[in-house]
Amino acid sequence: MCGIWALFGSDECLSVQCLSAMKIAHRGPDAFRFENVNGFTNCCFGFHRLAVVDQLYGMQPIRVKKFPYLWLCYNGEIYNFKQLQKQFGFDYQTLVDGEVILHLYNRGGIEQTASMLDGVFAFILLDTANRKVFLARDTYGVRPLFKVLTDDGFLGVCSEAKGLINLKHSTSLCSKVEPFLPGHYEVLDLKPSGKVASVELVKFHSCKDEPLHAACDTVEALPSGFDLETVKSNIRILFENAVRKRLMAHRRIGCLLSGGLDSSLVAAVLLKLMKEININYPLQTFAIGMENSPDLLAARKVAAHIGSEHHEVILNTEEGIQAIEEVIFALETYDITTIRASIGMYLVSKYIRKKTDSVVIFSGEGSDELTQGYIYFHKAPSPEEAAEESERLLKELYLFDVLRADRTTAAHGLELRVPFLDHRFTSYYLSLPAELRIPKNGIEKYLLRLSFEDSNLLPKEILWRPKEAFSDGIASVKKSWFSILQDYIDQQVDDLLLEKAAEKYPFNPPKTKESYYYRQIFEKHYSGRSSCLPHYWMPRWVKATDPSARTLKHYKSAAQE
């Protein structure tokens, strides 16, 4: 994890523009560098480094003697860089996994480069010999990337929007900052003036398609067919492989553990594999919640079962409420459920950074979208519509859960790893018949749970634990985080303000006091950027006015059961 930033064709003094790059310094607390591009005085790269691999030669932009005309700034981890080296005979000059991008590009161009990378990434590649700039982002947008491109060819690129919104330019303030679409690459011509012109934007991978890099994966061809035992075995093999490849790190590995199915599976498989490869320190797991909250109790049970070094962060109401503005600033969104769920994750990340030496943090993001874990999937009209909804959610992850997971951890200089969003694992799961993937017997993620039932990785009551919304599970069932927020915000927003909300905020107008409160804070920091959120996250197939699982009829608390 790191922060990348680049400008091409700036009319303003670069030493002034570079101040904007300091707004993402939290993403790389170990070192930073600004570097001008030879022959293009109005182009430069900025880089904030979190040193996870190759402590000596990991600074960026990466340049190697073999390709003096290539400049690379990237954020991410390429898990198959050694397999690609073996397959194509690449001669690496550093231990940096991202160096493979230069070799792939030299061998087969940008299309092959983006398609062959197994990992999470956002990169800016400059080819001064052919006067080209390339941008690319991984399939699910696990690593963030934003850009601004003016009519006269000034380009700004950054890991977070906050590094671009105050850039100055001769024709205008650069206000139209947009997320770069996941699973795409863009080709731009670089003019002698340093300005650029977009040539094409290409989608190189869809979540349903088996990735091109599967051909050189450590797990070879799997048994075909959809009989249940074969499917369960393939799911276990691919998920374990997804966790194993993410063990690549020179810094200590930890794991977020809510006690729900997803984070518990990740933690259990992670600890098993760490033992197998003789990692000689205990796995630290981290849970957050109010005293005796459902998540804390469940996480404690999982940690005892798997044998991790477990840390509990007790959340008090005042601390959670005080964090709201910091969280919205970090997130760059005003989406209701994203903000709610981010507060706990932000505070546990803060604890990890201050109190431990874990830096590479595993988490369970992506499972709800992939395996139909949201409670409203019980209301899907048909398996086919449930499958379509699952794909829609995966495509929008970069606006919601993946955004939350990246910003809350990156705000504290941590690197997140999400095995459920492994390209090979997700493409296989999505290839299964729709009927196999739907909730069964009143239980969501039924197939995933069934696949691990005989593994003894988790206690049965955890493996079959019903879905808790993260923002709800951190509080007691009697007084949820959802309710605590409502009580506080009700005192902060006047009824009259809410009545006139549509006049003040015509785009995505707030419908509740809570959404109004968040919107006010968002506009304070990111005025005029409301279009960054195309719509609020809301459940489908139910009459819901709030995204919380607690408002759905299917939701059952432990006290009710």
Residue-wise pLDDT tens digits, 341-395: 999 999 999 999 999 999 999 999 999 999 999 999 999 999 999 999 999 999 9
Beta-strand relationship, 415-417 and 358-362: parallel
> Which pLDDT value is given to residue 171?
64
pLDDT at 535: 96
pLDDT higher than threshold 90 for residue 11: no
Task: Tell me, rounded to whole angstroms, the distance of Cα 452 from its chain centroid.
Answer: 25
Residue numbers annotated as active site: 2
Q: Which helix (H) or strand (E) holds 253?
A: strand 252-256
Average of pLDDT values for 218-243? 94
Q: Is 546 annotated as a binding residue?
A: no
Residue 561 pLDDT level (bands cut at 50, 70, 90): very low
61: preceding bond cis by omega (within 30 degrees): yes
pLDDT for the residue 557: 43
172 is in an annotated binding site: no
What's the pLDDT tens digit per position in 320-338? 999 999 999 999 999 999 9
* pLDDT computed for residue 551 by the predictor: 58
Write down the H helix ranges in 89-137: 99-116
Among 1-10, 256-265, 377-386, the minimum mean pLDDT is found in: 1-10
Which H or E run includes 401?
A: helix 401-410
Residue 469 pLDDT greater than 60, yes or no? no
Q: Which helix (H) or strand (E) holds 78?
A: strand 67-78
pLDDT at 229 over 70: yes
Q: What is the pLDDT of residue 60?
A: 79
Q: Name the H helices within 246-285.
A: 261-276
Q: Tell me the pLDDT of the chain averaged across its residues.
A: 91
Judged against a pLDDT cut of 80, whether residue 53 lies above it is answered with: no
Percentage with pLDDT > 90 across the chain:
76
What would the mean pLDDT of 291-310 be, rounded to a whole number?
94
Token pair 């941008």 is at which residue?
135
- Which of the residue ranges 7-16, 55-64, 318-327 would you say has the lowest mean pLDDT? 55-64
Is 256 labelled as part of a ligand binding site? yes
User: Is 58 a known ligand-binding residue?
Assistant: no
Looking at residue 17, its pLDDT comes to 86
Residues 6+ apart with CB under 8 A from 354: none
Alpha-carbon distance values, 526 to 161, 280, 522 (Å):
9, 45, 6
288 is in an annotated binding site: yes
Band of residue 51 on the pLDDT scale cut at 50, 70, 90? low
Nearest to 138 by CA among 87, 187, 211: 211
Residues in the chain: 561
Give the domains, in start order, of the chain with CATH numbers: 3-203 (3.60.20.10), 220-556 (3.40.50.620)
Tens digit of pLDDT for each residue in 20-47?
Answer: 888 888 998 777 888 889 888 899 998 8
Pick the range with the lowest mean pLDDT from 67-71, 117-121, 292-296, 522-526.
292-296
Residue 556 pLDDT more than 90?
A: no
Q: What is the pLDDT of residue 137?
A: 98
What pLDDT, on the 0 to 100 scale, is given for residue 473? 56
Please, which pLDDT band fits residue 307 given cuts at 50, 70 and 90?
A: very high
Residues with Cβ within 8 Å of 473's Cβ and at least 6 positions away in sequence, in order, are 258, 259, 260, 289, 293, 294, 295, 298
Residues 6+ apart with CB under 8 A from 391: 207, 208, 430
Please, which pLDDT band fits residue 266 given cuts at 50, 70 and 90? Answer: very high
| DSSP calls for 223-251 | P-S--HHHHHHHHHHHHHHHHHHTT--SS
pLDDT of residue 402: 97
Q: Can you tell me the mean pLDDT for 490-507?
A: 96
